[in-house]
Structure 1
Amino acid sequence: MTENTASEIKIPTEMAAWEIIKNGPIADPAAPIRFVKRPVPTPGPGEVLVKVIVCGICRTDLHVIEGDLPIHRQNLIPGHQIIGKVVKEGPGASRFAIGDRIGVPWLRHTCGVCKYCRSGRENLCEKSVYTGWDADGGYAEYTTVPEGYAYRIPHQFDSQAAAPLLCAGIIGYRALKRAQIPAGGSLGIYGFGNSAHLTAQLAIAQGTQVHVFTRGEDAKKFALSLGAASAQGDLDPSPVPLDSAIIFAPVGDLIPAALTAVAPGGTVVSAGVHMSDIHELNYEKHLFHEKSVTSVESNTRRDGEEFLTLASRLDIHPTIHRYALKDALKALIRVSKGDAAGACVLQISQED
């Protein structure tokens, strides 16, 4: 059965999707997610229904699936780097036309009235809601999004290239802003996965010298191929004093290592939504000399608009590894190993 919109777009009543059935290691033989049939969702007031073209796979998806983040919803469909086509409008929705290609990101809704929202820091809103954590995401053929939180996608990006920009790219951009790197300065990047390889491109394009610290041998080669000045082990000493460092790997023990590597007055940014405990932090060794440690919590919509404009201007493109929707588990296992050398993307439908 299908129903027709005013524009004669046929929408099925059921869709294929992955849902989380328990929390546990993604590589466990009894997988924590399963491939199912679900009803196609109905867009609520101010929302649009999106036919998903592609959905990027993010390490945050692993944190949600494996239980590093608290459970917000049972039988959740993960995924929050979504590119798709608007096929139906909910009551009051008017920002997009039927057939428009849009991006559905991690940040899904904020209250709009708290002190954080009113001061341009909506990413800190205590009532914020997230795609693929609080609401069903993009490991599915259809999803919904409040139209005010979706992005128009620059025409020069095909959907596969655009998907990782919606979280990996935007979060990396916010981390770069918080790193406060001086013009022509040096940046250490710890971990070199999806977000890091986009952040490195952006930093290098802006004249920053990038040094990469990662365990994966393929990741080291990949970093050098993108223009990094050096690539070494994650706990190796830096070849130069760093002005700033960004930590993408969810490993708390990298904080002291990065603080040791940055020069006096340097800044260390933790860019992940989850990180393991920090076991050792010595004031004299790690924090003295006016060194700073900060973090990134989600992003604002302004961050997203700024980054997409900058990425299109500087021609920032991810390296893509494509998987069919039915192979999402394989892609997640690859991401969990931490040496994917780029971004994994689920191809869910064809652009038309």
Structure 2
Amino acid sequence: MRISQVVAPRLSAIVEVPDPVPGPHQVLVEVIACGVCTSDIDVWRRGPADGGAPVRLGHEFVGRVRAAGSLSGRFDVGDIVTGLGGDGFAELVLLDADSVLPVPAGLDPVYAVGEPMADLEEALARTDPRVGDDIAVVGLGFMGLGILQLAKTRAPGRLIGVDPNPAARERALALGADLVLHPDEVDAAFPQSPLDPRPRIVLEVTGVTAGLETAGSIVRPFGTLGVVGYHHEGTARMDMRLWYKAVTVVNGFCPERPRLIRAMGDALALLASRRVSYEPLITHRFGLEGVDAAYELMDARDPALVKSVIMP
């Protein structure tokens, strides 16, 4: 099979390797599409460690079962599946059977990549949204627009999107936001007053400290701030005014695979019901030779980009 791997800073190469063979509890999947995730861009920028082996990326896969181990259970050859893990910028990917779920019938596989929506569904559920809550999403990239759609299924009062990119704000309106704002408009839109118009739940999906600061300024007293953005390494400054507002801060990351698989099942059901859709979010498609082009587009912060997928 062919697989793409990072061999130097900002440089990938395709190599031929033997087809993997599934063990008893594994499935071998022929990749149909694999999402290009922001969390991997630093690895692509840096390349392998000095003297280290090439790095294989791609963990947002959907594909067709090519072979299944003797104890893998419910999967048959030809089943369309998605799940967690794997080196997905390849023609084939080997996965643990308990990290894979079937894609609902009738759903285009390209729009059924399960891992990102599982992350978002799990993060949103932990903020405990209730019917009628005002919910704000700060950061309207791929993950922000995804969680905005998921929040819409909770029947919020107002659904608010915040982003400096006008194209992102337009997409949020098209996906059901009631109000969109540039970060510079936030203070005027939410003046502090006895009636306090600020939302009870604010979801930060930027992955940068400036986004955390904006999100912290929006959330009302006794509200909940969900930190969903991927903040990579190091530290981020905490606005201690959150303490004076008695705000609950929820870490949106989930390290437990069973919880994510449950959340993935919920997200796939929403995708199958068309209450949530990837279709407006996947803006670019590349072959296996286009991995670097996809990351370059992301690195340049092209305003036309929401999400790229690699289709071997």
TM range (shorter): 0.7 to 0.9
With normalisation by structure 2, the TM-score equals: 0.84
Q: 2:161 is matched with which residue?
A: 212
Whether the 8 Å contact between 2:83 and 2:115 is mirrored in structure 1 is no
Matched, 1:50 2:29: yes
Structure 2 distance, partners of 1:291, 1:214, is 22
Segment drifting more, 144-153 vs 53-62: 53-62
After superposition, residues 122-271 of structure 1 pair within 5 angstroms as: 131=85, 136-163=86-113, 166-208=114-156, 209-234=158-183, 236-237=185-186, 239-240=189-190, 241-271=198-228
CA displacement, residues 157-204 of structure 1 (integer Å, 9 cap, x when unaligned): 1011112xx122111111211222231111111211222212112222
CA displacement, residues 276-314 of structure 1 (integer Å, 9 cap, x when unaligned): 6323523xx232132011212235211111221233235
Aligned in 2, Cα 1:278/1:244: closer, same or farther, shift over 3 Å? same
SS in 2 for 1:49: strand
Whether the 8 Å contact between 1:219 and 1:341 is mirrored in structure 2 is no
Whether the 8 Å contact between 1:51 and 1:87 is mirrored in structure 2 is yes
Unmatched segments (≥5 aa) in structure 1? 1-14, 25-30, 106-130
Structure 1 distance, partners of 2:253, 2:237, is 22
CA displacement, residues 21-50 of structure 1 (integer Å, 9 cap, x when unaligned): 24x5xxxxxx24323323222222311111
Unmatched segments (≥5 aa) in structure 2? 191-197
After superposition, residues 1-352 of structure 1 pair within 5 angstroms as: 15-22=1-8, 24=9, 31-66=10-45, 74-105=53-84, 131=85, 136-163=86-113, 166-208=114-156, 209-234=158-183, 236-237=185-186, 239-240=189-190, 241-275=198-232, 277-279=235-237, 281-282=239-240, 285-298=241-254, 299-318=259-278, 319=280, 320-321=282-283, 322-336=285-299, 337=301, 339-340=303-304, 342-348=306-312
Structure 1 distance, partners of 2:302, 2:202, is 19
Whether the 8 Å contact between 1:176 and 1:199 is mirrored in structure 2 is yes
CA displacement, residues 209-253 of structure 1 (integer Å, 9 cap, x when unaligned): 221121222112211221212222245426240111111111023
Structure 2 distance, partners of 1:226, 1:269, is 21
Whether the 8 Å contact between 1:16 and 1:141 is mirrored in structure 2 is yes
Structure 2 distance, partners of 1:35, 1:267, is 45
Taking every aligned residue pair, what percent have the same amino acid on both sides?
A: 22
Q: How many pairs align?
A: 292
SS in 2 for 1:237: helix
Aligned in 2, Cα 1:219/1:39: closer, same or farther, shift over 3 Å? same
Structure 2 distance, partners of 1:144, 1:43, is 7
